[in-house]
Amino acid sequence: MTAIDDSPARDPDALRADMVRALRDQDGINSEPVAAAFATVPRHRFAPDAPVEVAYDLHRTVPVKKDENGLELSVMSAAHLQAVMLEQAGIEPGMKVLEIGSGGVNAAYLQELVGKQGEVTTVDIDRDVIDQARRCLDDAGYPQVRTVLADGESGVPGGAPYDRIMVTAAAWDIPPSWIRGLTAAGRLVVPLTLCGTTRSIAFDRDPDGDGLVSRSYSLARFVPMQGEGAAEERKAMLREGVALQTDEVRVPLNGQALNRALDTPRLERWSGAAYDLPDELELYLTLNLSSPARLHASNDVVECGVVEASALFGVPALVSEDSIAYRTRRENEDTGGFESGVIAHGPGAEALADEYVALLRRWAHDHRHRGAATFRYLPGPAPTPLPQNAVLRRHGIVTATWH
């Protein structure tokens, strides 16, 4: 029998004060204006159907809308992620800001940050979401925020140029309207998905060209962008519980041959290098493997020993027509905790393992720290030949350099 929780709901003001303290402690909030915005906005009023403790939980999202298969189309983002992105955005009083992907609460934070002289527009592709955002904003005392129903792919040209554009759905590309819609000193904060893994990247205009250059990035998870800008992803089911995904057109995804490869004996290679900062390493691998995909395995498959546990939440894989290699780890005191390694299968296992292990070593030796990457987005037709390891998108290319 489930125990009934009859403890009284906690006071929202007290929960909000606790949330702000915890966001400071956990490096979500680093500035006084963002702290003041989070201390002011009555967050629970934007999640009227959720328990108040959930609305003020740092790391929990609140469901807003799902599709017929139960996939989340809209959520109220977790407070920690919102704080990190608002810090990345560096919003100042008087600014004009566009939020793409609505819900209400983040727009209310934005309004607090831009103050009376600033302007906030929030756009959503979903009528139910934007209607609820409108109701909540009015109810919470933010009638001045402009709500727009539209596909954010085209921006909201009526209000452009914006000092800041903040995207709150996982984007696969950066459409021209977002770059055009920024002021000369404007900044775009966007959760960009690269081969199945998403980073919230703060981009400024690149002084060396007509593109964008990153100033910070942070691991993020978002519902996918819908509409014209939706991701172009390819997936292959190798067998029950084992899937590969990639958004790179040049990567071969031969599901049958790779499934056969999994039945061949595994080749295990150890790098002798430390495994830590997993999100930074994963990003480096995703952008530097010559033929990257993401390998996912279910619990059952991992328990049977077919695939390592590193694939439970997705792991960067290197694939060829008939072979596959992916990262693993083991405890090793000499490397300080864990050592990284590679599992490879198939006729080309040796070559794939060599390439993979070389990257694990290079990262550990040269780039093993936070913030090692600088991203660039170059709009327009892709240059030929394509720069090494550039990620090809519909409207431009993404490149990364490592320091």
Please give the residue ranges that form the binding site for ligand SAM (CB under 6 A).
Answer: 73-77, 100-106, 123-126, 129, 151-153, 168-169, 222-223, 225-227, 229
User: Please, which residues bridge with residue 147 across strands?
Assistant: 122
CB nearer to ligand SAM: pick between 62 and 353: 62
Q: How many CB atoms lie within 10 A of CB 275?
A: 25
Least separation in angstroms between CB 214 and ligand SAM: 21
CA-nearest of 276, 279, 275 to 287 is 279
The nearest distance, CB 167 to ligand SAM, in angstroms, is 8
Q: Measured from the CB of residue 82, what is the shortest distance to ligand SAM in angstroms?
A: 7
Q: What is the CA radius of gyration of the chain?
A: 22
Other beta carbons less than 10 A from residue 150's beta carbon = 15
**Strand, helix or coil for residue 278:** helix
172 versus 375: smaller Cβ distance to ligand SAM: 172
Residue 33 vs 229, nearer CB to ligand SAM: 229
Distance CA 202, CA 214 (A): 6
The answer to whether residues 80 and 26 touch, using CB atoms and an 8 Å cutoff, is: yes
Q: Least distance from C-beta 33 to ligand SAM, angstroms? A: 18
Q: What would the two tokens of residue 126 be?
A: 């979903």
CA distance linking residue 288 with residue 359, whole number of Å:
8
181/316 with CB nearer ligand SAM = 181
Q: How many CA atoms lie within 13 A of 336 on its CB side?
A: 6
Query: Shortest distance, CB of residue 263 to ligand SAM, whole angstroms?
Result: 40
For 2: left if phi > 0, alpha if psi spans -120 to 50, otherwise beta; the answer is: beta
Nearest approach in angstroms of CB 146 to ligand SAM is: 14
CB 273 within 8 A of CB 176: no
CA–CA separation, 373 and 385 (whole Å): 22
Question: What gap in Å lies between CA 95 and CA 120, rounded to an integer?
Answer: 8
Catalytic residue flag (residue 77): yes
CA distance 188 to 85: 11
Catalytic residue (one of 77, 177, 310, 320): 77
- Which lies closer to ligand SAM via its Cβ, residue 180 or residue 365? 180
Nearer to ligand SAM, 104 or 341 (CB): 104
What is the end-to-end Cα distance of the chain in Å, rounded?
A: 56
Query: Catalytic site residues?
Result: 77
